[in-house]
Structure 1
Amino acid sequence: MAQYQTVRTADGVRSAAIDEGLKAHMNKVYGTMSVGMLITALAAWAINGLAVTDVANAYQIGADKYLTDFGYAIYASPLKWVIMFLPLVMVFAFGAMINRLSAASAQLFFYTFAALMGLSLSWIFIAFTSYSIVQVFLVTAIAFAGLSLWGYTTKKDISGWGSFLIMGVIGLIVASLVNIFLQSPAIMYAISIIGVLIFAGLTAYDTQNIKNTYIAHAAHGDQEWLGKAAIMGALNLYLDFINMFMFLLQLMGNRE
């Protein structure tokens, strides 16, 4: 009986320690993701020309729309294609390199990726009104928070969603590339609706996966691995947010 009480107490202490560790882990995931979002926003803001104060020497591309010299070079040259596809290349590179990187290097890689993503997304300030961008961002933030909270708290195992959702992402990429040449509004509308649904599902799935991954490995005490897992989790949730935001912007945003 005494031995049983000792085991039960030890399990209780271990569970409490894991719960505290999980809380710290999730805080790191969301904190790293938030810093990445801020870097992306600042990079997009700086490059699209909103930061220009000397408008007499800036490139005007619309009513109250100006570009820096660097911004004009990007939008008026083949460099725009490099900026567009480089973040996608970096995502695959990050997945391949994560085991060889330290936690600090992985974090630096993520922040560099976030800056490049900002350059890639800076065109939205030209195509859409600032009000609609802010409005859609807030809608996305509310939806993301609700979906992530559900993924974290639900008792339902949604790990089976993973393969289906990843196949959906691949289909979206292929359809988007094809529509670059077709320029079909109907296809773009369908892609946007499906994209919102897929990344809504991925937000819940990735949150639960981050939680389960930590619980499964916390007992091993490998802090370096857990640090890298937090960065990878932040990247996944960051991509879920960005993609959901972009698809909602296509559906709800007011164009200039």
Structure 2
Amino acid sequence: MNNTAIQTQTGLSSFYAKIYGFVAMGIGLSSLVSGLMLTVFQQHLVNIILGPSWVLYLIILGELGLVLFASGAAAKNSPMALPLFLIYSVVNGYTLSFIIARYTQTTVLQALLSATLMFAVMATIGVTVKKDLSGMARALMGALVGVIIASIVNLFMSNGAMAYIISIITVLIFAGLIAWDNQRIRQVYFELDGQVPTGWIVSLALNLYLDFINLFIHLLTILSRND
């Protein structure tokens, strides 16, 4: 391997490391906030759960607006991209605590370990595979739209079996997206000759963060079936 190839590989590795540094910050913040909500601020969590349901729905809608705002800022390479990503991680950690509170500690730990292992495997595939995964990614995004619609319908039906099937499909979708998002990192690096704006870096990190969180949430549903 010549010096140019070595420099290119080193630069790409540093690029991955920077993105995953942001991902780790986001997941770390979310974990910290969720942990505090489930322990130190447990009474606040209980009060929200036992209070009017519209309060929690309002928080979730606000979170959705925030992630869209953060994505837009990243796409425009705004200086606010990283702060918005970190703020979103905090807010998401808050809302995640209401989901995690429904499950046993054993199930949460199993889901976390399973999500971490699956993420690592699919990320490795995305980094190393030579085949272009963009076609697969488009198909998965289309399937994700269908799953979102089915999930909304199931909110009114409250069908446990349907929720279980939706979660299995969603896990498969995000497993594929993890591979694609990791391959996309390499493509972006070479397309921009290694000169990637911070906004793009945050955008790529946000995608991976959302992949992991969604994987974890739906693994919770699958693994809790026997609780």
Other-structure match for 1:3: none
Residue 74, structure 1, aligned to residue 48, structure 2 = yes
Other-structure match for 2:59: 83
Q: Which amino acid aligns with 1:106?
A: A
Q: Which amino acid aligns with 1:182?
A: M
Residue 161, structure 1, aligned to residue 144, structure 2 = no
What is the correspondence of 1:36-47 to structure 2 with a 5 Å cutoff? 36-47=26-37
Distance in 2 separating the partners of 1:90 and 1:247: 22
Distance in 2 separating the partners of 1:250 and 1:99: 32
Residue 142, structure 1, aligned to residue 117, structure 2 = yes
Gaps of 5+ in 2: none
Gaps of 5+ in 1: 1-8, 53-66
1:169–1:91 distance in 2 versus 1, CA, 3 Å: farther
Q: Of residues 196, 210, 215 in structure 2, which corresponds to 1:244? A: 215
Residue 233, structure 1, aligned to residue 204, structure 2 = yes
Q: Which stretch shows the higher mean deviation, 88-97 or 117-126?
A: 88-97
Distance in 1 separating the partners of 2:169 and 2:129: 24
Other-structure match for 1:123: 98
- The RMSD of aligned alpha carbons is 2.0
Distance in 2 separating the partners of 1:166 and 1:21: 30
Q: Which amino acid aligns with 2:6?
A: A
Q: How many pairs were matched up?
A: 225
Distance in 1 separating the partners of 2:225 and 2:106: 8
For each residue in 1:117-173, what CA deviation from the matched residue of structure 2 results, as whole angstroms up to 9, or x when unmatched?
A: 111111233210112101210111011001001100111111111211111221122
Identity %: 31
Q: Of residues 127, 134, 142 in structure 2, which corresponds to 1:152? A: 127
Runs of 4 or more, structure 1, over 6 Å off, are: none
Greater C-alpha Rg: 1
Q: What TM-score comes out, normalization by structure 2 length?
A: 0.91
Q: What TM-score comes out, normalization by structure 1 length?
A: 0.81
Tell me if structure 2 keeps the 8 A contact 1:32–1:231: yes
What is the correspondence of 1:197-208 to structure 2 with a 5 Å cutoff? 197-208=172-183
